[in-house]
Amino acid sequence: MKSIQELEQIRNRMRDQMAKRENSDGYRIVVGMATCGIAAGARPVMRTLIDELKLRNKADVPVTMTGCIGVCRLEPIVEVFSADGQKTTYVKMDENKAKRVVAEHIVNGNVCTDLTIGAAENQTK
């Protein structure tokens, strides 16, 4: 890196890319892949998401990983961002639930309410 301008170029290019990603009609999926998530089974969940998206011709939906968000007791956590920036947080995921999220949420635009953090919180109350 030779200059601040160079850094700014990367920043702007990346921001453009992220903005495009957010404004596209597509979804974006983020999987928590810190130690807590991985220990709870995030790896097979992520793999299932990717496979299932491929199967349903939605391989263009990006699946990325992220760190620990702090609610380790609810891992594996999967967050789905929709085109309008709306975030849905799915908790205690497994492979079957991952398939459901792809089928119902990504393909059919239907939030799987029973798998969200709100539902999990209501249960423990």
Partner 1 sequence: MQIFRAHVLCCAGTGCTSSKSLQIIDEFEKHIKDNHIDDEVKVIKTGCFGLCAEGPIVVIYPEGTMYVRVAPEDVKEIVEEHLVKGRTVSRLLAGHHDAEAISQSLDDVDFFSRQKRIALRNCGVINPESIDEYIARDGYVALAKVLTEMTPQQAIDVVTASGLRGRGGAGFPAGRKWQFAANSKGDIKYVCCNADEGDPGAFMDRSILEGDPHSVIEAMTIAGYAIGANHGFIYIRAEYPIAVQRLNIAIKQAKEYGLIGDRIFDTDFSFSLEIRLGAGAFVCGEETALMTSIEGKRGEPRVRPPFPAVKGLFGKPTILNNVETYANIPVIFTHGPEWFNTIGTEKSKGTKVFAVGGKIMNTGLVEIPMGTTLREIVYDIGGGIPNGKKFKAAQTGGPSGGCIPAEHLDTPIDYDSLARIGSMMGSGGLIVMDEDNCMVDIAKFFLEFTVDESCGKCPPCRIGTKRMLEILEKITNGKGEDGDIEKLEELAKSISKSALCGLGQTAPNPVLSTLRYFRHEYEAHIYDKKCPAGVCKAMLQYKINPDKCIGCSLCSRKCPVEAISGERKKPYVIDQSMCTKCGVCMETCKFAAIYKG
Residues at the interface with partner 1 (CB under 8 A): 1-4, 7, 10-11, 14-15, 18, 25, 30, 32, 34-36, 38, 55-58, 64-73, 77, 79, 86-89, 103-104, 107-111, 113, 116-119, 121-122, 124
Between residues 44 and 118, which has the closer beta carbon with respect to partner 1? 118
Cα 80 to Cα 104: distance, rounded to the nearest angstrom? 12
Give the number of other CB atoms < 10 A from CB of residue 39: 12
Cα 108 to Cα 118: distance, rounded to the nearest angstrom? 21
- List of E strands, the chain: 28-32, 63-66, 78-81, 87-90
Q: How far is the CB of 94 from partner 1 (least distance, A)?
A: 19
User: What is the amino acid identity at position 25?
Assistant: D
